[in-house]
Amino acid sequence: MAAVAHEAHGHHDAHGHDHDHGHHEESFVSKYIFSQDHKMIGKQFLMTAVFMGLVAMLLSILFRIQLAWPGESSDFLSFFLGETWAPGGILKEDMYLGLVTIHGTIMVFFLLTGGLSGTFSNLLIPLQLGARDMASGFLNMLSYWFFFLSSILMLASLFVESGPAMAGWTIYPPLSALPQAVSGSGLGMTLWLFSMAIFIASSLIGSLNYIVTVLNLRTKGMSMTRMPLTIWAFFVTAILGVLSFPVLLSAALLLIMDRLAGTSFYLSDIIVGGEMLTNHGGSPILYQHLFWFLGHPEVYIVLLPALGLSSEIISTNSRKPIFGYRAMIGSILAIGFLSFIVWGHHMFVTGMNPFLGSVFVFTTLLIAIPSAVKVFNYLTTLWKGSLVLTPAMLFAIGLVSTFITGGVTGIILADSALDITVHDTYFVVAHFHIVMGMSAVFGMFGGVYHWFPKMYGRMMNTRLGYAHFWITIVGAYGVFFPMHFVGLAGAPRRYYDYSVYNEFDSGSYDMMMDLNVIITIFAIIAALGQILFLFNFFYSIYRGPVAPQNPWNSNTLEWTTPVEHVHGNWPGELPTVHRWPYDYSKPGSDVDFIPQTVPLAEGEEEH
């Protein structure tokens, strides 16, 4: 199959040779804007995601200020939100919900789905497989521009007069269906739904492209079991996306119908704002089933690429093969499969039949097994390694820590009986921010530090990278770790003001007020720490030292391409692969790495 692909792209080879003679004419527009080159598209995804991530982070700081100092006037709030949403510097209740909703939406979909998978799948799939480009450059370009358009719509919804969507990032109807119930369910919610519909289109086009590329465009010798774990992770992620995002689209479409066409998919027997609605027979639970059928695989759509990136980073910088390569592939596949049959664990207390709940308890807890395998394999990879602690490596190690810390609390939440007391409390907020948010963000940062030389041909500043890592891990754990305790005390999430506790439990009240201040201070520190990253990132794009071809002494194919980007990736013929990508410190070899392009020596066994 790979050989066929090689043939099919023969014309690219010729094109590649042209580079030696004269530069192929490319206009500014086709090179930087409507580019069909996977490397440029990857960078476009990254830039957009960085911007979206910053917006979402700012939103979180705004509502954290309200939580730490409820009812106190803040110049910061009035500066960003003005008199409409923060009269006198005090956040409005409705806007609090709006901020929470858009923060969650942007972080989950735009930063960690579009940004993470979009950036690194685009950059690395062709480079690590030895392909000239994606299977369809044009669809790839469309995927980015749909993503861009949906980002614009989502941001625009923040400026709507009646406010952005305010029903939480899960937008459960009827709240999200009825403008009478909350002001954000008007135009803001319409924009949210259209933005997400376009986002889903972008994600689908992208994912299909990734799948086809992985299956068809592997270079000679690159069998499936010689692919780096990054590619395996992107591949399974893309399959999850293709199978689950259409279900979210149908959920969104039905909601659009309920809102605009008067249908009753999710609505039944409702009186809102003094108005008796005629809708009858729909079920809000139906929406939740559809939403979480995407929603849970989505968690792994976010997480798997991060795990893939960290596998590569940890192996390279431990100077050791990843331990249990096949078990790692197996656990990626197992996690991918199981992620489709666990969605009900988000719905234990929705009134869903308890028997159905018990089935989901069983399937959900099964996921802990492949996850445990992954953790122990990472640990064994580090064991007796020769660790080079690059900033990327620090973030990858941080990822393993957050994956453990956030993962173990999942065992509590997956157990329906125990979930009764902590469902929808800050315990959940702590859990998913650590296991999904921190892990995926750490994976993304690790990826940026590691592959920056490949993206921009320059090096990022290492010392700033160190400072950035340490501030981020201390800040982020400082934010999310205390939340477990707030949650165990019973604090519901999405509350505008926890001083309501003063009315019935002064002990809890004191604790929540104290911890909320601490959490907010850590959040501000962590947010400021990102300035280091931004400075380092943009500065290094223009002024960083020029990167060597293979800065980390890595085995994978992307480091055999020239530092200067060329269209078609390799100026000459495509490389041929002779071994797996993890021959680090192999006995019998003088150097501690053997790139995949090096043929097996006489009598050498493949791993």
- Give the footprint of another protein on residues 313-332 (CB under 8 A): 318-321, 323-327
Distance, CA of 528 to CA of 602 (rounded, Å):
55
Ranges within 483-512 binding another protein (CB under 8 A): 485, 488-492, 494-498, 500, 503-508, 511-512
Which one, 144 or 292, has the nearer CB to another protein? 292
Strand duo 271-272 + 275-276: pairing: antiparallel
Considering only residues 139, 156, 242, 365, which one is a binding residue for another protein as defined by CB under 8 A?
A: 365
How many degrees, rounded to 5, is the angle at CA 439 between CA 447 and CA 130?
30
Which one, 22 or 588, has the nearer CB to another protein? 588
Which one, 293 or 559, has the nearer CB to another protein? 559
Decide: is 592 part of the binding site for another protein (CB under 8 A): yes
Decide: is 601 part of the binding site for another protein (CB under 8 A): no
Decide: is 86 part of the binding site for another protein (CB under 8 A): no
For 146, residues 6+ apart whose C-beta sits below 8 A from its C-beta are: 198, 199, 201, 202, 205
Residue type, 6: H
Closest distance of CB 263 from another protein, Å? 14
DSSP annotation string for 52-75: HHHHHHHHHHHHHHHHHSTT---H
Decide: is 533 part of the binding site for another protein (CB under 8 A): no
Closest distance of CB 54 from another protein, Å? 15
For 178, residues 6+ apart whose C-beta sits below 8 A from its C-beta are: 185, 270, 272, 273
Q: Which stretch binds another protein (CB under 8 A): 20-28, 133-141, 289-297, 375-383?
A: 375-383
Q: Using CA atoms in the order 509, 513, 515, 516, what is the torsion angle rounded to 10 degrees?
A: 130
CA separation (Å) from 426 to 165, 246, 483, 511? 21, 30, 6, 13
Closest distance of CB 392 from another protein, Å? 11
Distance, CA of 409 to CA of 392 (rounded, Å):
26
User: Collapsing DSSP states into helix, strand and coil, what is residue 237?
Assistant: helix
Which one, 44 or 318, has the nearer CB to another protein? 318
Closest distance of CB 25 from another protein, Å? 34
- Residues 145/41, Cβ–Cβ less than 8 Å: no
Beta partners for residue 275, in sequence order: 272
User: Collapsing DSSP states into helix, strand and coil, what is residue 458?
Assistant: strand
Distance, CA of 233 to CA of 116 (rounded, Å):
12
Q: Which stretch binds another protein (CB under 8 A): 180-188, 243-251, 336-344, 570-578?
A: 180-188
Q: Which stretch binds another protein (CB under 8 A): 132-140, 220-228, 295-303, 527-535?
A: 527-535
Decide: is 513 part of the binding site for another protein (CB under 8 A): no
Closest distance of CB 205 from another protein, Å? 32
Ranges within 451-480 binding another protein (CB under 8 A): 453, 459-464, 466-467, 470, 473-474, 477
CA separation (Å) from 416 to 352, 368, 545? 12, 15, 54
Taking residue 262's Cβ as centre, other Cβ atoms within 10 Å add up to 11
Interhelix angle 368-382/354-366, rounded to 10 degrees, is 20
Taking residue 531's Cβ as centre, other Cβ atoms within 10 Å add up to 11
At 549, list the tokens: 């071809």
Considering only residues 394, 434, 479, 577, which one is a binding residue for another protein as defined by CB under 8 A?
A: 394
Element (H, E) at 276: strand 275-276
At 132, list the tokens: 């000239």
At 418, list the tokens: 């125990």
At 313, list the tokens: 């980073």
Q: Environment class of residue 21 by beta-carbon count within 10 Å: exposed (0-12), middle (13-18) or buried (19+)?
A: exposed
Closest distance of CB 438 from another protein, Å? 13
Decide: is 24 part of the binding site for another protein (CB under 8 A): no
At 485, list the tokens: 């305790």
Which one, 45 or 403, has the nearer CB to another protein? 403
Binding mask 267-296 for another protein (x = CB under 8 A): xxxxxx---xxx-xxxxxx-----------
Q: Which stretch binds another protein (CB under 8 A): 104-112, 154-162, 215-223, 347-355?
A: 347-355
Distance, CA of 577 to CA of 566 (rounded, Å):
21
Closest distance of CB 397 from another protein, Å? 5
Q: Which stretch binds another protein (CB under 8 A): 106-114, 209-217, 292-300, 416-424?
A: 416-424
At 505, list the tokens: 């439990």
Tell me 275's DSSP state: E
- Residues 514/426, Cβ–Cβ less than 8 Å: no
Which one, 138 or 362, has the nearer CB to another protein? 362
Closest distance of CB 22 from another protein, Å? 32
Decide: is 118 part of the binding site for another protein (CB under 8 A): no
Decide: is 261 part of the binding site for another protein (CB under 8 A): no
Q: Which stretch binds another protein (CB under 8 A): 1-9, 16-24, 195-203, 406-414?
A: 406-414
Q: Which stretch binds another protein (CB under 8 A): 121-129, 130-138, 187-195, 381-389?
A: 381-389
Closest distance of CB 320 from another protein, Å? 5
- Residues 256/189, Cβ–Cβ less than 8 Å: no
Which one, 10 or 354, has the nearer CB to another protein? 354
Number of residues that bind another protein (CB under 8 A): 154
Element (H, E) at 197: helix 187-216
User: Residue 174, preceding bond cis, omega within 30 degrees?
Assistant: yes
Q: Which stretch binds another protein (CB under 8 A): 125-133, 148-156, 170-178, 216-224?
A: 170-178
Decide: is 341 part of the binding site for another protein (CB under 8 A): no
Decide: is 449 part of the binding site for another protein (CB under 8 A): no
Considering only residues 2, 5, 46, 68, which one is a binding residue for another protein as defined by CB under 8 A?
A: 68
Which one, 160 or 277, has the nearer CB to another protein? 277
Considering only residues 54, 156, 242, 525, which one is a binding residue for another protein as defined by CB under 8 A?
A: 525
Considering only residues 195, 207, 244, 377, which one is a binding residue for another protein as defined by CB under 8 A?
A: 377
Residue reference for tokens 């806007």: 95
Which one, 6 or 579, has the nearer CB to another protein? 579
CA nearest to 259, candidates 175, 164, 155, 198: 175
Ranges within 201-260 binding another protein (CB under 8 A): none
Q: Which stretch binds another protein (CB under 8 A): 27-35, 93-101, 137-145, 242-250?
A: 93-101
Ranges within 130-169 binding another protein (CB under 8 A): 166-168
